[in-house]
Structure 1
Amino acid sequence: MSGQAELSRLSLNQITTENWSLSEAIDGCERNEVPWISIWRHKLAEYGMKETVTHLKNSGIKVSSLCRGGMFPASTQEERNIRIEDNKRAIEEAAELNTDTLVLVCGPSPDKDITQARKWVQEGIEAIIPYAEQHGIKLGIEPLHPMYAADRSVINTLGQANSLVKYYQSEQVGVVIDAFHVWWDPQLAQDIETARGSILGFHVSDWKVPIYDMFKGRSMMGDGVIDLHGMRKQVEAAGYAGPIEVEIMNQELWDRPGDEVLQLMKERYLEHV
């Protein structure tokens, strides 16, 4: 693949339109001819599984992924077990939504021992692989930028995620590459190639200077410093041809009408991705 990214691959990660309910987001995708959506579990819980499945079927909108599983580390074995069970519920939900990918945001360290937290992540994923296999769901390990190590994930580079994939030797486990989280990494090109055959998702947004908010600091494609087009070509050269999710946490976008955001998203996607 070369040139512009095809609109047939465009997916709305629904956090980009956080002000919309899941019902509104599905309708918005249909209205604006966005063929895919990535669903967040809290929005799914609000709307209901039966209602969501029916709505998706009637709209023709496909689900690129379910966000999120993970959050494995915890101070006690009891709590870690609870989190593993919650991941099993997420796997069931992904299967019901007819998507093949559950995105794993692996979780922070509950104390200062980040090495132990990474071991708990490894153990947590290992515990759910058989359940994912039973339900036909792939587990996409998404490394998060190092600034999120303290509160969101201790898996912070694509190299780390690749090492986990290699450790499991399971077709159920792969990686999700989010441009915002990995663009800075000097090993990125090499690690994308290493991920060949196990890339389960590609997310785009931009890094605008300065970052004014750690969580809501992402920007629309083209407003920042990331070579999104170049990264897309690298990811495709490594074999990924699936949906491309636009995932932007940004209060200014959340405050705008959702249809306006989707139209801007389509324009910038074609221009910069």
Structure 2
Amino acid sequence: MKGFSLNQATTKRWPLEDLVAGCVAADVAAVGLWREDVAAYGLEKTAKLMRDAGLTVSSLCRSGFFHEAGWYDENRRAIDEAATLGTDTLVLVSGGLPGTSRDLDGARRHVGDAIGALVPDARNAGVRLAIEALHPMFCSDRCVVSTLDQALQLAAPYPVEAVGVVIDTYHLWWDDKVWQGIADAGPRIAAFQLADWITPLPEGVLLGRGLPGTGSVDMRRFHRAVADAGYDGWVEVEVFHSDVWSRPGAEVLAEAYEGYRAAVS
């Protein structure tokens, strides 16, 4: 694999210029970026900052939610932003149920149709759409794609170079079918992200991720599985937790890297 990448979400309160300087000082070669942070700093300015520092953008998070009005235009912008930043991976988080709908099957069909509509734009831009399944507790409002199997079914109609899937340990560790799913995914694996499951969950479960090695997830087994499936890309550490965000960025980066090293050893 290409090695460790720090996802920007892990050090959310670290200013981008400081994050870049910290990664360069620590010999970290890649960073995963988030669209809202890129927009705040400036798209072209961010792209130049990355190029000048010699950093690779391992991925851009995230797509616009497909249940929202204007989803097509929003996702076209996301594709263009990824291309400008020089990354070939745009992470798709599908969105939840629209309005007061309870039609989960219909929402998932819409996600499939939306991905199909975006594939020509993504291919023209040289960007791969990477479908991320989120833990089922996020199904109603953030992501109706809840399992790796569902993500693979959505990706299946399209070439592997156009549409892939994300393996995120936090979201998939609970699924007893995930190991066969990873093996079946093979070249569909477009991104691999590490975050641990910690208990008890804090209030607001979105911020309940831990740095690798601090929770319940067998990181080494996940790493072996994606390696055996042929994945050779970056390994991002992507953690959402207010306690982690409150710490100095360089300290979190060092701990994230140690967690990564333990996972791949």
Q: TM-score interval w.r.t. the shorter chain?
A: over 0.9
- How far the C-alpha of 1:22 sits from its partner, in A, is 2.4
2:207 aligns to what SS in structure 1? coil
In structure 2, what is the Cα distance between the partners aligned to 1:170 and 1:200? Answer: 9
Query: What amino acid is aligned across from residue 210 of structure 2 in structure 1?
Result: S
Pick aligned residue for 2:44 from 39, 50, 55: 50
In 1, Cα distance between equivalents of 2:19 and 2:113: 35
Query: Hey, what does 1:107 align to over in structure 2?
Result: 95
Q: Contact (CA 8 Å) 1:23, 1:47: kept in 2 or not?
A: no
CA distance in 1, matches of 2:122, 2:160: 11
The aligned counterpart of 1:252 is: 243
Find runs of 4+ consecutive structure 1 residues off by over 4 angstroms. Answer: none
Task: Give the Cα–Cα distance (whole angstroms) in 2 for the partners of residues 108 and 167 of structure 1.
Answer: 22
Aligned to 2:210: 219
Distance 2:121 2:201 in 1: 39
Matches within 5 A, 1:27-42: 27-42=21-36
1:170 offset after TM fit, Å? 5.5
**Stretch deviating more after TM superposition (126-135 or 46-55):** 46-55
Counterpart of 1:151 in structure 2 is 141
Alignment of 1:73-152 (within 5 A): 73-74=67-68, 79=69, 82-110=70-98, 111-152=101-142
Q: Aligned partners of 2:16, 2:248: CA distance in 1, in Å?
A: 15
1 CA distance for matches of 2:51 and 2:177?
41
SS at match of 1:46: helix
Q: Is the 8 A contact 2:104 2:144 kept in 1?
A: yes
5+ residue gaps in structure 2?
A: none
CA distance in structure 1 between the aligned counterparts of 2:23 and 2:49, rounded to whole angstroms: 12
Aligned 1:184-199 pairs, distance under 5 A: 184-199=174-189
Equivalenced residue count is 261
1:17 has 2:11 as partner: yes
2:214 is paired with a residue whose SS is: coil
Counterparts of 2:53 and 2:192, CA distance in 1: 24
C-alpha distance in 2 between matches for 1:68 and 1:84: 14
TM-score by length of structure 2 reads 0.95
How far apart are the structure 1 equivalents of 2:110 and 2:144? 10
Q: Could you tell me the TM-score, scaled by structure 1's length?
A: 0.92
Alignment partners' CA distance in 2, 1:194 and 1:237: 11
How far apart, in 2, do the equivalents of 1:270 and 1:192 lie? 21
The alpha-carbon deviation at position 52 of structure 1 amounts to 1.1
In 2: Cα distance, 1:121 partner to 1:50 partner: 30
Residue 77 of structure 2 aligns to which amino acid in structure 1?
R
What is the aligned partner in structure 2 of residue 267 from structure 1? 258
Q: CA-to-partner distance for each residue in 1:116-137, whole Å, 9 max, x for gaps?
A: 1111111111111000010110
The whole-number CA distance in structure 2 between the counterparts of 1:167 and 1:72 is 18
- Stretch deviating more after TM superposition (155-164 or 259-268): 259-268
In structure 1, what residue type is equivalent to 2:72?
A: I
Q: CA deviation at 1:54?
A: 1.5
Give RMSD over aligned pairs: 1.3
Gaps of 5+ in 1: 1-5
Does the aligned pair in 2 maintain the 1:66–1:101 contact within 8 Å? yes
How many angstroms does 1:70 deviate by? 4.0
Partner of 1:3: none
